[in-house]
Amino acid sequence: MKKLIYPFLAIVLIIGSAFTIFKAQDWKIADTSFVKFDGGDPSGQFGGMKGTISFDPNDLANSKFDATIDVTTINTGNGMKNTHAKSEKWFDAEKYPTIEFTSSAITKTAEGYEAKGILGMHGVQKEVVIPFTFQDNTFKGSLTVNRLDYNINTAEPNHGASSFKVDISVPVTK
């Protein structure tokens, strides 16, 4: 039995080190990243994106996005609207301080790539697909989000927009 310990350790090391070799490139999210939302009224953006991005165009199987944005960074261009957006009636930033996205699969498409994953917002988690491109060290993606799907002010479905076009821009560095 003792004879098997070293071969076993060697296999563990080989497999472990293989993961370090095949791990997709890690990217650091730049402070200039933003998530813009456009619903006519209101429109605005979130900043403060944090998280980990492992992405290698040649190794999509090991690529992964795990990012959060701070709800309190919302900026609609109007102070009064910002305060309302963070309130209990809308995003309830005190109870749900972040919006999260964790990818489960990244695939290549004709236009670029697609990240399938879970978008968590306002305590609700839903599967979404985000088409994106990666050029000049910047990830750019867009999707449509309906606030009612995430139980955001469902009492007033017609108060402002309910469907928002969301544009994501994430400059990264190695």
Question: Which residues bind to other proteins, rule: CB under 8 A?
Answer: 36, 44-45, 75-83
Find the shortest distance in angstroms from Cβ 45 to other proteins.
5
- Which of 129, 161 has the CB closer to other proteins? 161
**Nearest CB to other proteins, comparing residues 64 and 81:** 81
Angstrom CA distances, 27 to 19, 56, 64, 104, 118, stand at 17, 10, 11, 18, 20
Compute the least distance from the CB of residue 42 to other proteins, in Å.
Answer: 9
Based on CB atoms, which residue is closest to other proteins, 57 or 77? 77
Shortest Å, Cβ 33 to other proteins: 14
Q: CA 115 to CA 129: how far, in whole Å? A: 6
Q: Identify which of 26, 27, 71, 33 has the alpha carbon closest to the alpha carbon of residue 49.
A: 33
